[in-house]
Amino acid sequence: MATVEFRVGARAHIVVDSDVCRSCTTKACVTACPANLFAPTSDGGILFNYEQCFECGTCYLVCNSEGAIEWSYPDGGEGVVFRHG
Amino acid sequence: MAHIPSPESFDAVVVGAGPAGSAAALALARAGRSVVVVERGPFPGSKNVYGGVVYARVLDDVIPNWWEQVPVQRWVVRRSTMVMTGSQALTVDIRTQAWGQPPYNGMTVYRADFDSWLADQAVEAGASLVTSTVATGLLRDGTGCVTGVRTDRPGGDLTAKLVIACDGVNSFLAKEAGLLPKAEAAHHTLGVKEVLALPADVIEDRFGLAPGEGLDIEMIGCTRGIPGGGFLYTNRDTVNVGVVVSVAGLAGSGIRPEDLIADLKEHPAVAPWLRGATVKEYSAHLIPEGGYDAMPALAADGFLVAGDAAGMTLAAGIWLEGVNFAIGAGLAAGEAASAAIARGDVSAGGLAGYRKSLEAGFVLQDHKRLRGAPHLVLSDRMQRQYTHLICDLAEQVFTVTNPQPKPGIIKLLRRTARRHGIRWRDLVRDGIETARVFR
């Protein structure tokens, strides 16, 4: 991930409701996220880092629990900057 | 950082300065309309990822001799399709020098360069470009007609006679307008790629290219059975290597996408090409691959949608194209919007010329003709069984079995099909289906 430029904003553009995740049996976000930003916690929840997000949207597409992942874009000018996309 | 331009209200707001948005803005500006393009990234292309090759024939009438100014990496003169298993690869390779001279065919470009270049064309024609600004929602009048967008700038509402949403595969505006479902894993694939640095002369030696010439390889059978495929494209001094996989398939597999790239890079047919290469950038992006049948309605009152936001990427196996469809749709949207403004009717009915124009050209005709292709290419038999069948058959045809005499090819086919549990009736049915889809 050191190969990609990120302009990290102060606001988390993706918010995960770990309470919902505790009842999730698949946790597909953990393996599907191409930036590897979802980590399962020992109590069955999910820890999420928004800072190195590619803003692709895979996580909310694979999330099987409506509302567990609240997804929006980072504020204007912030987030990932692809130079060779 | 650009400033919000001064007019109180515009003829049109275009959201997203990708190929669709810039093409729409270019068409509007050339028609004399006031248009502002809102881009959430710090510059056009900064949020965009593709394979990638651009086929820019669609620009011939719009930007004459575009090839003299476009920020090209390499002109694609070789196209290969590779059918792979873990230890085999069968490649069909076409090379033609015709693609290496004007008016050219495909080119590799970086989206940061290409999208910025196309946005510059719109700006030169009179469009305003506002970067680092997110369109956070739609403005509507009392009848529900879209009249602009909210942005994340203080006091940043932008009002207009209509809005053209070119805000990409996740299009929150098309979702807000009720044209797209909120989340639909089934119609999306995830593309992940590494851009690997290699000296230009090394790329030319390894891939049999002259300076300026490029190669495009599409692969099937390299994604551990997850529906999808792989790719390799040459830039001037980098090589793009990656995979595109079904989001639903990936989610169910428990396999990490970057492991699929690692597999591909280690494949015996690929590894020697990449020896000594270092990773320059790793990136990922969703692709709307549902094709014609998954496309949303393209217009609502005061609202048009184009490009990835409208699911216009063509993923038809041997043809993987998107940027050209986005440009074609953006131009049509801009022209239809301008005509609707001239008539004073920006209702969905007044904007119907957009769809008609797309139906009259390649954008919807190609998609309609190839509507069955995404399903066929991503089918389980195509992905798992036929790749093995093809590679094993070719291997046996060319394996000399002396002192045994050569077996007949039909006999080999029969034997190989049986070994992989492929039934004749499926083979025949899929053959007919393939002929029908690509007729």
What does each C-alpha distance from B283 to A5, B303, B435 come to in angstroms? 10, 31, 35
Alpha-carbon gap: A55 to the closest alpha carbon of chain B (Å):
8
Q: Where are the domains of chain B?
A: 9-72+109-180+296-371, 185-288, 379-437
The pTM of this model reads 0.96
What pLDDT score does B96 carry? 98
What pLDDT score does B5 carry? 56
Task: Name the pairing type of β-strands B238-246 and B188-197.
Answer: antiparallel
Alpha-carbon gap: A50 to the closest alpha carbon of chain B (Å):
15
- Are A1 and A51 in contact, with CB atoms under 8 Å apart? no
Q: What does each of the 439 residues of chain B score in pLDDT, given as a tens digit?
A: 445 555 579 999 999 999 999 999 999 999 999 999 999 999 999 999 999 999 999 999 999 999 999 999 999 999 999 999 999 999 999 999 999 999 999 999 999 999 999 999 999 999 999 999 999 999 999 999 999 999 999 889 999 999 999 999 999 999 999 999 888 899 999 999 999 999 999 999 999 999 999 999 999 999 999 999 999 999 999 999 999 999 999 999 999 999 999 999 999 999 999 999 999 999 999 999 999 999 999 999 999 999 999 999 999 888 999 999 999 999 999 999 999 999 999 999 999 999 999 999 999 999 999 999 988 988 889 999 999 999 999 999 999 999 999 999 999 999 999 999 999 999 999 999 999 999 8
What pLDDT score does B411 carry? 95
Distance from C-alpha of B379 to C-alpha of B387, rounded to nearest angstrom: 12
What pLDDT score does B295 carry? 96
What pLDDT score does B313 carry? 96
- What residues have CB less than 8 Å from B305, skipping those under 6 apart? B164, B165, B166, B171, B173, B174, B177, B179, B296, B298, B299
ipTM surpassing 0.95: yes
One-letter-per-residue 3-state SS of B67-133: HHCCCCCEEEEEEEEEEECCCCEEEEEEECHHHHCCCCCEEECCHHHHHHHHHHHHHHCCCEEECCC
- Cβ distance A57 to B169 less than 8 Å, yes or no, reads yes
CB neighbour burial string for B49-64, b if at least 16 within 10 angstroms, e if fewer: bbbbbbbbebbeebbe
Which residue from B46, B240, B286 is facing A82, i.e. has the nearest CB?
A: B46
- Cβ distance B251 to A83 less than 8 Å, yes or no, reads no
Neighbour count for residue B69 (Cβ, 10 Å):
11
Q: Which amino acid is at A6?
A: F
**Chain A CA closest to residue B49:** A85
What pLDDT score does B1 carry? 44
For chain A, list residues with pLDDT below 70.
Answer: 1-2
Q: Which residues of A are less than 8 Å from B40 in CB distance?
A: 73-74, 76-77
**Chain B CA closest to residue A66:** B183
What pLDDT score does B289 carry? 93
CATH among 3.20.20.370, 3.20.20.140, 3.40.50.1820, 3.50.50.60 for B9-72+109-180+296-371: 3.50.50.60
Task: Name the CA radius of gyration of chain A, rounded.
Answer: 13
Alpha-carbon gap: A17 to the closest alpha carbon of chain B (Å):
17
**Domain at B185-288: CATH code:** 3.30.9.90
Q: What are phi and psi of B29, to 5 degrees?
A: -65, -40
Output the six-digit token pair for B312: 């216009």
**Chain B CA closest to residue A31:** B256
Which residues of A make CB contacts under 8 Å with B? Answer: 1, 3-4, 7, 26, 28, 31-32, 34-36, 54-58, 60-63, 72-77, 79-85
The full set of domains in chain A, from first to last, is: 5-81 (3.30.70.20)
Count A/B contacts: CB-CB distance under 8 Å: 126
